[in-house]
Structure formats: C-alpha cells, structure tokens
Amino acid sequence: MTALADFAITHKWPPRNPDAIQLYSLATPNGVKVSIMLEECGLPYDAHLVDFATSDQMSPEFLSLNPNNKIPAILDPNGPGGKPLALFESGAILVYLAEKAGKFLPDANRYEVIQWLMFQMGGLGPMFGQLGFFHTFAGKEIEDPRPKERYRAEAERLLKVLEGRLEGRDWVAGDYSIADMAIAPWLRTLRDFYKAGDITGYDTLKNVPAYLEQFLSRPAVQRGLLVPGRG
C-alpha cells in the first residue's frame, strides 16, 4: 500500500489528519475554488499554506506534486481504487471532487457544467489574470497601452457573455455547480482586488453582480474564501 509519506510533499507539509484530503493552496481565485468545493461537500481536509512570499511553490517538495509550480493541488489518501491520488489544475480537482462526493456535477447536464467550467479555465481566469497584471500590478508601468487594452477589452467581452448567459438564470448551468465555484471567485477578484469594475463595464451590468452577491452569501463560500489561513 502506498503511504502518504511516499509523497515528498508531505515531508514539507506533514498531514495533521492523514485520512483527510491534503490541500496545498493560497487564498487566490484559483486556490479558493477548491476550498469552497471542499466546504460545500463537507469533505474532511487538511489545508496547507503554500506561501508565495517564500516561494514555497518552487520548493522541490511542491514541484514533486505539481511540476507547473502553481496552486491549488491536492493529495487524496483515498483516491480511486483506494489508492492515494495526487492532482493539480483547479478544474481537474473540481471534477474529481464532484465525482467523489456525487455533488455539483449532475449526470443530467454534466457536459453543460463542464463547458462553463472550461469557459472559466481557458478564458475568464487567464484573461482577468493578465488584466490584473497590466492594470494593477507591475505591468501598469508599461507605457505601451496595447497589452492592457487587449486584456481589458477581452475581460469586458467575457463579462458580456456571462451577463447574457445569466439572463433568467440563477446559476450558469442549471443548479449551483462547480462551474459557479470556478467563475464567481474571479469576478470577486476583478472587482475587489484588481479594482477593474469601472474599466471593464462590470459596474454597469445587472446579472453578473447579482450572481456574485448570491454566491458570496453562501456560508460554505464564506468559509472557503478564508482557506488556508496563515496558521
């Protein structure tokens, strides 16, 4: 039997409860997707802080689980066939947890949910992230206006797609699902952290802001947004 100790990541971040899912994360929009899902499902987990200030994501122990040096990542001691499963990429983790818990990815509209999950993974997240760089962080010192404008316009366009999709709908694909857990944290980051609500037209929308408020009112979301704490 494979023991968790066989995974080098557990040497840097020892499990407190070795029977629980081990989560390696930071409370960023990609990180909180997974802590929110774990809270929504009531699955037991140990949250470990991957601190970017000390480049934890570049440590050999973290890279042994995710060679792409990005959070979130998980190690489930009770994966398929009762064997441990190590997994990175937040979209893959959300699908895995939904199948494990039997929640938030119904058979009836499985591919519709996956479609909107991929809309976030391939579009909303990467484009908003680049806008954050050029509007809020180091990239704002770049004088050439084209990079920021490119990502601003793309963020505005994606928000309009979402606004249209949410017309007459509470959630993006049927009932509340992993697609919402992927999308909504990025809306919050765009509005509150990047402070890009005015330049992207977010502030003029109706459905998208109401959707985010509905998401943020969920107790499991409020708990998941704080994970992992600073210990």
For the chain, what is the largest distance between any 2 Cα atoms, rounded to a whole number of angstroms?
Answer: 57
| 89 touches ligand GSH by CB under 6 A | yes
177 binding ligand GSH? (CB under 6 A): no
Q: Which two tokens stand for residue 128?
A: 């908003």
Total site size for ligand GSH, rule CB under 6 A? 11
Do 104 and 178 meet the contact criterion of CB atoms below 8 Å apart?
yes
Write down how long the chain is. 231
**Site for ligand GSH contains 71 (CB under 6 A):** yes
CB of 1 or CB of 53, closer to ligand GSH: 53
* Residue from 59, 69, 109, 136 in contact with ligand GSH (CB under 6 A): 69
- Phi-psi category of 86—alpha, beta or left, where left has phi over 0 and alpha has psi -120 to 50? beta
Given 22, 90, 177, 200, the residue binding ligand GSH (CB under 6 A): 90
Q: Name which position in 10, 22, 35, 57 contacts ligand GSH (CB under 6 A).
A: 57
As measured in angstroms, the least distance from the Cβ of 94 to ligand GSH is 9
Give the whole-angstrom CA distance, residue 71 versus residue 7: 17
DSSP 52-107: GGGTGGGSHHHHHH-TT--S-EEEETT-GGGS-EEEESHHHHHHHHHHHHT-SS-G
Task: Write each residue from 9 to 38 as x if it is in contact with ligand GSH (CB under 6 A), else as -, in one continuous string.
Answer: -------------------x-x--------
As measured in angstroms, the least distance from the Cβ of 155 to ligand GSH is 16
* Helix (H) or strand (E) run with residue 23 in it: strand 21-25
Comparing CB distances to ligand GSH, the nearer of 57 and 200 is 57
Backbone angles phi, psi at 181, to 5 degrees: -65, -25
- Pick 62 or 163: Cβ nearer ligand GSH: 62
Q: Which is nearer to ligand GSH, 27 or 212 (CB)?
A: 27
Is the torsion defined by CA of 86, 91, 92, 97 positive or negative?
positive
Q: Which stretch binds ligand GSH (CB under 6 A): 86-94, 106-114, 160-168, 195-203?
A: 86-94
Q: Give the footprint of ligand GSH on this chain (CB under 6 A).
A: 28, 30, 52, 57, 69-72, 89-91
